[in-house]
Amino acid sequence: MIVLGLETSCDETAAALVDGDRNILAEVVLSQFEEHRPYGGVVPEIAARGHLDHIDRLTAEVMKRAALPFDAIDGVAATTGPGLIGGVIVGVMTAKAIAAVHRKPFLAVNHLEGHALTARLTDDVAFPYLLLLVSGGHCQILAVEGVGQYRRLGTTIDDAAGEAFDKVAKMLGLGYPGGPAVQAAAKAGDAARFPFPRPMKGRPGCDFSFSGLKTSVRQMVEKLPPGPLSDHDKADLAAGFQAAVVDSIADRVKRALRDFRGSAFVVAGGVAANSALRARLTALSAEAGLPFIAPPLRLCTDNAAMIAWAGLEHLRLGRTDPLDTRPRPRWPLDPEAPKSRGAGAVKA
């Protein structure tokens, strides 16, 4: 079984082919970082136009790399939400066109489920497992009980962790994308210099909050002498902020691990590439007696291999979607969970 996957939910245009033996036959990811860098964040209209310019070429490229005709694939999967709706439409319409012309099943994939199931592609993790999904638009803890079966244990009540990294990087003049920039600056910094809060630490439940921490960084910057920040100040601010994020996430994860019974603890999403966070989560997982699974860095950020794999998991169960399936800017993994006013609940 071979599935073609397309990913266009934010600022990466990606295509990949994955088979039922967990092999990535071919993949390509085109980043739009340079296009969005002058604005310090993703501009939805620019992102959508970029996807439209490149999706056909990238799709043809993966088919060529795998030396496969479209007749050889068993299904076409596309991120159908959540995400920036202009970009999502581009990927969905491309996938539908391929599926219709070649008479293949269409698979509407939830972008978050792509992240959630990546550990099954890379490590064949058995259900159930605990998942920390932490990225630019999402920060959730979920019990992954099966394909399409998710129970949300906690979510952000305001900003997602990745969004906070991007905005703090912008405050400090570190550039875009913020996550790698803050991590690089923090290596030379003193995390103890600035007393940043640890939001939600010690509170019941597993919810997150990062808005107040972001505000605290801005207030610290304003207290420093007027003028451009020195490299020393930037490093210390970055180190202090990163330590606060890691401490806050670790506190929430520790609470979730305390009552969880399953096969593993998995982390996924772009912020999972942060080395300080990975080190802390590795230790917490060991304390809980669970294997710690973190996909390779290239599969933590947005990619099409995870979309192809999620589509394949559904196809194995006989689940396909009609060609009139609508793209969705919002699509929670656990629709039964209480609605959150935070971005991380449903927003890309």
**pLDDT tens figures, 25-65:** 999 999 998 899 888 889 999 999 999 999 999 999 999 99
pLDDT (average), residues 295-319: 96
Distances from the Cα of 188 to the Cα of 175, 184, 225, 230, 231, angstroms: 17, 8, 21, 13, 9
Q: Extract the tokens encoding 183.
A: 């991590």
What does pTM read for this prediction?
0.93
- What integer pLDDT is reported at residue 48 of this predicted model? 96
User: What's the DSSP call for residue 345?
Assistant: G
Q: What is the tens place of the pLDDT at every residue in 278-293?
A: 999 999 999 999 999 9
CB 90 within 8 A of CB 128: no
CA dihedral sign, ordered 313, 315, 319, 320: positive
Provide the b/e sequence for 128-166 (b: ≥16 CB within 10 Å).
bbbbbbbbbbbbbbbbbeebeebebbbbbbbbbbbbbbb
Distance in angstroms (rounded) separating the CA atoms of residues 107 and 62? 18
End-to-end CA distance of the chain: 30
What element of type H or E holds 150? strand 149-155
- What integer pLDDT is reported at residue 342 of this predicted model? 55
pLDDT (average), residues 130-142: 92
- What integer pLDDT is reported at residue 341 of this predicted model? 60
- What integer pLDDT is reported at residue 270 of this predicted model? 87
- What integer pLDDT is reported at residue 128 of this predicted model? 98
- What integer pLDDT is reported at residue 338 of this predicted model? 85
Closest Cα to residue 136, out of 167, 98, 114, 109? 167
Q: What is the tens place of the pLDDT at every residue in 216-244?
A: 999 999 999 999 999 999 999 999 999 99
- What integer pLDDT is reported at residue 259 of this predicted model? 86
- Strands, sheet with 75-81, edge to edge from the N-terminal-most edge strand: 24-31, 12-19, 2-7, 75-81, 106-110
- What integer pLDDT is reported at residue 37 of this predicted model? 86
- What integer pLDDT is reported at residue 346 of this predicted model? 37
User: What's the DSSP call for residue 156?
Assistant: B
The mean of the pLDDT values for the chain is: 94
Q: How confident is the model at residue 348 (pLDDT cuts 50, 70, 90)?
A: very low
Q: What is the tens place of the pLDDT at every residue in 245-263?
A: 999 999 999 999 998 999 9
Q: What is the tens place of the pLDDT at every residue in 90-129?
A: 999 999 999 999 999 999 999 999 999 999 999 999 999 9
